Amino acid sequence: MALSISRRVLRSFGSLSGFGRCGDSSCLTSQSFRASHDLYGHVSWDCLFSAESSSFIKGAVSSLAHRRLLTSNVTSESNDGSFPSDLLSAKNVVTPQREIGLYQDLVIPVTNFHNEDKGLMVLAGDVFDVPIRKDIIHRVVRWQLAKRQQGTHSTKTISEVSGTGRKPYRQKGTGRARHGTLRGPQFRGGAVMHGPKPRSHAFKLNKKVRRLGLKIALSARAAEGKLLVFEDLEVPSHKTKNIVNYVNEMENTKKLLVVDGGPINEKLKLATQNLHYVNLLPSIGLNVYSILQHDTLVMSRDAVNKIVERMHTPIKR
């Protein structure tokens, strides 16, 4: 980061006693040295200089070139005397952190399994930078788990239990309770009253809520820095060690979800089928529950484009 030097001091460099070595017009004046408006303070010159001031100019340019290499902020409080304190700002320069949920487009680097630089990609802000809402995530996850429940559990009623229909003993005179069948729920091997029957546990959830849940899950991974975009999901071979070595190089990664735009590559399938911590999904199958189960999400460039297209498709009522 650049030094925090006020523009007023830069404009007055020409009038300082250290710069005015001669009185003729060929020397450096305050009008011939202007600070540019960019971050690193590039210098523009309006006139030619004499040989007498050339040595000073070289020193000034070298000092400005040295300023570009600085990576820390120097203020009047943290200065150790190596830089004039009157040229430094009294306040600390703090880089503002990005706020989540402002629907701003995100720029993310694109790489691959070989850690090669494949450029940048812009992620749509209305898909990858939406406000985080836990209540929406909770509703979508409950809807997913209820919808995938099989509901094949079944018990037998009194008409379905195997057994005789004869009355076990006479109605009166025995001193025992009256019974008409031995297939009742009070007998061992009898029926189950009000037991479960095969049914669907699914309930309705609006499409807008389901779509918003997926956006929130993607935004959460992008905000955590756990969203990686690959140019493609090509692997050199079907050997499992290729994926194992790549996952071991990643920091704080326990489970990895890889999403491709179309059908999964066969080599990638074979390389990950023995790894319980790496799962593959096509973009059409990406869902909230799978994203929450994995701490790192890897998506191909094609998968990102298809997810954005899917989120922008109008909902048919």
Query: pLDDT digit string (tens) for 70-81?
Result: 334 444 455 555
* pLDDT above 60 (res 7): no
Report which DSSP code applies to 19. T
Mean model confidence pLDDT for the chain: 78
SS3 83: coil
Residues 6+ apart with CB under 8 A from 152: 198
- Global pTM reads 0.65
Task: Identify the CA nearest to 115 among candidates 276, 239, 247, 252.
Answer: 247
pLDDT of residue 282: 95
pLDDT score for 52? 42
Parse the chain into domains and list their residue ranges. Answer: 7-87, 106-147+204-312, 155-195
Cα–Cα dist 127/121, whole Å? 14
**pLDDT, greater one: 161 or 40:** 161
Cα separation, 296 vs 294, in Å, equals 6
Q: Which residues pair with 306 in a beta bridge?
A: none
pLDDT of residue 101: 81
Among 84-93, 203-212, 262-271, 297-306, the minimum mean pLDDT is found in 84-93
How high is the pLDDT of residue 206?
95
pLDDT for position 48: 37
Tell me, what's the pLDDT at 300?
A: 94
Of all residues in the chain, what percent carry a pLDDT higher than 90?
59
Distance from C-alpha of 21 to C-alpha of 119, rounded to nearest angstrom: 50
**pLDDT tens for each residue of 16-62:** 444 444 444 444 334 443 433 443 334 344 433 444 444 444 444 44
Token pair of 107 as six digits = 């720029």
Which residue is it, tokens 């990638």?
Answer: 268
Give buried/exposed letters for 301-317 (b at 16+ CB in 10 A, else e). Answer: bbbbebbbeebeeeeee
Taking 50 as the threshold, does the pLDDT of residue 142 lie above it? yes
Does domain 106-147+204-312 sit in CATH 3.90.120.10?
no
Q: Over the stretch 219-258, which tens digit does the pLDDT of each residue have?
A: 999 999 999 999 999 988 899 998 999 899 888 889 999 9
Q: Give 167-188 pLDDT, tens digit per residue.
A: 999 999 999 999 999 999 999 9
Is residue 121 a contact partner of residue 304, using CB atoms and an 8 Å limit? yes
Q: Smallest Cα–Cα separation from 130: which of 206, 207, 209?
A: 209
SS3 124: coil
CA 13 to chain centre: 47
pLDDT of residue 259 exceeding 90: yes
